[in-house]
Amino acid sequence: MKAVVALGGNALTGKDRKADIDKQFEATQETAKSIVKMIKNGWHIVITHGNGPQVGALLLQQKLSMAEVPQMPLHVLVALTQGQIGYVVQQCLLNEFKRQGIKRDVVTVITQVLVDENDPAFKKPTKPIGPIYGEEEAKKMMKYYTMGKVEDGWRILVPSPKPISIVEAEIIKKLAEKDIIVIAAGGGGIPVVKRGESLIGVDAVIDKDLASQKLANEIMADILLILTDVDFVFLNYGKENEEAIHEISADELEKHYKEGHFPSGSMGPKVEASINFVRNGGKRAIITSIGKAWEALEGKAGTQILP
């Protein structure tokens, strides 16, 4: 059985989501234990992950060194974070394999994700990323990015287009089938558009849960396991009458989605990804916390979304 395991900020940076490298190794080492348990039980695993804190830190470094080094476009920064996080995950997994006497290869695939140049998201960049810039800095940044006014200054605004397909899906599938652990589509993937026969990087952020779902369907994974910092998806989350969802059909979940139970900045994309996954051939999508990952994969914890 093949599973795509999507890791949220919590699994890689710890609860406070700071990009401090010691904390990243610490959190990832814990996550590695869960992954190893899956592997030991015969699962073929492809790991995807977010990159919010890391890309934020890179943008801040660029801001502070603006006068000395040229700015890099966002698609290049996403590639950098894929390498950085891939390295941490590879090392943590290899160390855990050693400790448990497992022999297995791990590889990170720099992953491009095709988006549509005519996606309506490009007409109106809405997602603020990175640090806050002053007036002067913001003017300079406008050469590279769309800048939007916020309360204390300016921030980079990027579009969040829908992923269409994963450029490296075929190689990821082959590697996974050879029982190689693959880390891919980090940070939602590097957004690229097609002009003629050429791929060109664009400045956008693809939602990591939606990119993970695309990848999961394209490599024909059985399970999409989305690991975040809550054990369940809840109805009426945070209210007195909140209610954990244990098992639900895509249709039923979609009904609740339309009722507004899942905000677009957090649980919404996970729910949407889960619905899409099971409607496109996936057997089961699961949303749960990193601590419950194994139990959930066995069907004994978390929110289980069925076709």
Residue 307, Cβ neighbours under 10 Å: how many? 15
Q: Does residue 129 belong to the site contacting ligand ADP (CB under 6 A)?
A: no
Minimum separation from the CB atom of position 11 to ligand ADP (A):
7
Active site residue 162: no
- Smallest gap from Cβ 208 to ligand ADP, in A, equals 7
Q: Determine if 8 is a binding residue for ligand ADP (CB under 6 A).
A: yes
Q: Is residue 261 part of the contact set for ligand ADP (CB under 6 A)? A: yes
Considering beta carbons, is residue 138 or 297 the nearer one to ligand ADP?
A: 297
Q: Which residues pair with 249 in a beta bridge?
A: 306
Catalytic residue among 2, 18, 127, 283: 127
Per-residue contact flags (x/-) with ligand ADP for residues 10 to 49, judged by CB under 6 A: x---------------------------------------
Residue with tokens 């940076």: 13
Catalytic residue among 173, 214, 270, 292: 270
Least separation, in Å, of the C-beta of 131 and ligand ADP? 19
In angstroms, give the least distance from the CB of 9 to ligand ADP: 4
Q: What's the half-sphere exposure (Cβ side, CA atoms, 13 Å) at 220? A: 5
229 forms part of the interface with ligand ADP (CB under 6 A): yes
Among 58, 158, 216, 267, binds ligand ADP (CB under 6 A): 267
DSSP 229-287: SSSSEEETTTSTT-EEE-EEEHHHHHHHHHTT-S-TTTHHHHHHHHHHHHHTT-SEEEE
Closest Cα partner for 190 from 287, 94, 45, 86? 86
Which residues lie near ligand ADP (CB under 6 A)?
8-10, 50, 228-230, 233-234, 237, 261-263, 266-267
